[in-house]
Amino acid sequence: MLDATISDLSEGSAQWASMPLAGRAGLLAATHAAMAAQAQRWALRARDIKGLDATSQLVGEEWISGPYAALAGVGTLSHTVAGLAAGKSPLSGIKMGTAPGNRVTVPVLPHTAYEALLLNGFSAEVWLKPGVTAAKAVAAAGLGELAPTVSGGVGLVLGAGNITSIPPLDVLYEIVANNRAVVLKLNPTMAGMMSVYLAALQPLVTAKLVRIVQGGAAEGTYLAHHPGIDHVHMTGSTATHDAIVWGTGAEAVKRRAAGTPVLAKPMTSELGGVSPIILVPSKWTQRDLRYQAEHVATQRLHNGGYNCIAGQIVVLSKDWPQKEAFLSELRAALERAPQRRAWYPGSDSRLQDAQACYPKAQRLANGTRLLVDIKAGEDTSVIESTEYFSPVLGVIELPGTGQAYLDTAVATVNRDFLGTLGANIIADPAVIKKLGIGFRNAVAALRYGTVAINAWTGVGFLTATATWGAFPGHTIDDVQSGVGVVHNALLIDDVERTVVTGPFRPFPRSFAHGEFALFPKPPWFVTARSARTTGRLLTGFVAKPSWAKMPAIFLSAFKA
């Protein structure tokens, strides 16, 4: 059966290579329509897989990180390819900026007038690799669509088991950016999504560009090493990646030492890591402390803590006078966030492992969450080098304030923390302004694929025009958070990172402090009471954008 699947896709790959760009754009538009028709079924099936109550506000996560993200991705890709068909670069007309280190930046959020209002106060820019010029970026944007007759063959996508938009988004990127037909092997945790994905991707299935299969490690290994597969992409764990590349057991150790991988084809990956949340000290109001504590709790607890980009360690200044006040608010936020079952396999054992390493850690929310508050001078090495993929949140302290503290924090996370997928910085805008170029230099020094300032890096994941992946430079023998990028619906080449910026305070307090951002408490906050309705409305909007849909979205969002 798997051999026949690959044979079908070989035909589809050849047909895709002969398809004009306008036809490709039309096929992607048809896929957008098919996804929109499945949106409710998609979100509710994900809800049931994860054991959420039908009335829980957390169901909003399944709308936003599921059909909303996928629809935004395929819709933007369709527009990009249509523009290329008309002879227009995806970056044509975009005014680019600069960043430290001879870098050019591409503003990607807001990308439309709709986004400027819906996400008012949020922005994102893609930083190109040092030395890449704006002219080169414009010329190179389009990736595989610039050479559509050059086939990338058949690719294998090993789908993620946690966020339901990841498998289809990875598939779409392989098809459009790399001219590949794709066999998608689902993670067993997402077996229940099979029929939804088949219906949502039906135009691509009919065109023999996608096939979806089930199975475990045996099927994944067979496909990865099949001679008909030209490329492998996966989202998952480093252990799974290394087993595919090097094999297992003593033989794998020998192969790695000799530099002779068992996988004889290229592989890209997104593998997570230990994501820092750097808090820059200043004088915060009580409402600031509470809001940012909920922000941090969200970064850990979204999707139950089973995110490759989940914030795992809060970095604090030991000299911050409000340190204890913030920690008190953080404990309270972790306590009051809605509880849910530990739905991802192995979660409880990973939480127990963390407790065994840090016996002083505090159990919260009826023992379902762990806060590991490590004081200055205590060993931080285990939590810095272990991705727990469970509701475990660490806190470490570093000396200093101002620029000296920020520089120390950046150097520490670059040196000691596992992975390079994403890093978060939370700082009052007045402090950012005061630090000036020093703050921008600190962002440039962070070696992470997505850096979020007063936002969660998850916003970068949700932004179709942003890039998503590890900081460049990893290899299969030291893969860290992976190799390559996905999403990137503007098909930008020579990418280094995405930098997301959000408001420090929600509306209306943002206006009172001069931020001029209309965004209320974000619907992805685990404490957002109206998230289920807002997520559904946002998904309906991205399925068929209309100004007439805006009032209902804002009304729901402001009830958060």
Residue 458, pLDDT above cutoff 90? yes
Return the residue matching tokens 């065109």. 207
First to last CA, the chain: 49
Return the residue matching tokens 């704006």. 134
For the chain, what percent of residues have pLDDT higher than 70? 100
Average pLDDT, the chain: 97
> Tens digits of per-residue pLDDT, 195-220?
999 999 999 999 999 999 999 999 99
Phi-psi category of residue 77: left, alpha or beta, with phi > 0 → left and psi -120 to 50 → alpha: alpha
Compute φ and ψ for 47, nearest 5 degrees. -55, -45
Beta bridge partners, 128, equal: 495
In this structure, the number of other CB atoms found within 10 A of the CB of residue 191 comes to: 12
Give CA–CA dist 256/145, Å, rounded.
36
Give CA–CA dist 296/290, Å, rounded.
10
Give the per-residue SS3 of 500-517: EECCCCCCCHHHHCCCCC
Q: What is the pTM of this model?
A: 0.97
Per-domain residue ranges of the chain:
2-90+141-270, 275-528
> Tens digits of per-residue pLDDT, 333-368?
999 999 999 999 999 999 999 999 999 999 999 999
Reference 501, options 463, 538, 557; nearest CA is 463
Residue 380, pLDDT above cutoff 90? yes
E strand residue ranges, 149-274 = 154-158, 181-185, 210-213, 231-235, 267-270
For the chain, what percent of residues have pLDDT higher than 90? 96
Identify the pLDDT of residue 419: 98
CATH no. for 2-90+141-270: 3.40.605.10
> CB–CB of 207/16 below 8 Å?
yes
User: Which amino acid is it at 539?
Assistant: T
The tokens of 186 are what? 């689902």
Give the containing element (helix H, strand E) for 550: helix 550-557
Residue 1, pLDDT above cutoff 90? no
For range 278-294, the mean pLDDT:
98
Give CA–CA dist 237/242, Å, rounded.
9
Give the containing element (helix H, strand E) for 40: helix 21-49
The DSSP secondary-structure symbol of 547 reads G
Burial group, residue 529, by CB count within 10 angstroms (0-12, 13-18, 19+) = middle
DSSP three-state, residue 426:
strand
> Tens digits of per-residue pLDDT, 84-98?
999 999 999 999 999
| Sheet with 482-483, side-by-side order of all strands | 210-213, 181-185, 154-158, 231-235, 267-270, 482-483
> CB–CB of 155/195 below 8 Å?
no
Identify the pLDDT of residue 368: 97
> CB–CB of 366/339 below 8 Å?
yes
Distances (CA, A) of 127 to 101, 450, 460, 466, 498: 11, 10, 13, 10, 6
Residue 376, pLDDT above cutoff 90? no
Compute φ and ψ for 189, nearest 5 degrees. -65, -20
Angle between helices 323-336 and 286-301 in degrees, nearest 10? 50
For range 60-80, the mean pLDDT:
98
Identify the pLDDT of residue 377: 83
DSSP three-state, residue 519:
coil
For range 312-325, the mean pLDDT:
98
Give CA–CA dist 503/428, Å, rounded.
9
The tokens of 376 are what? 């200055």
Reference 224, options 253, 261, 271, 272; nearest CA is 261
Q: 275-528 domain in CATH 3.20.20.70?
A: no
The tokens of 351 are what? 């939480």
Reference 451, options 100, 125, 107; nearest CA is 125
Residue 128, pLDDT above cutoff 90? yes
Residue 324, pLDDT above cutoff 90? yes
In this structure, the number of other CB atoms found within 10 A of the CB of residue 242 comes to: 18
DSSP three-state, residue 23:
helix
For range 478-492, the mean pLDDT:
97
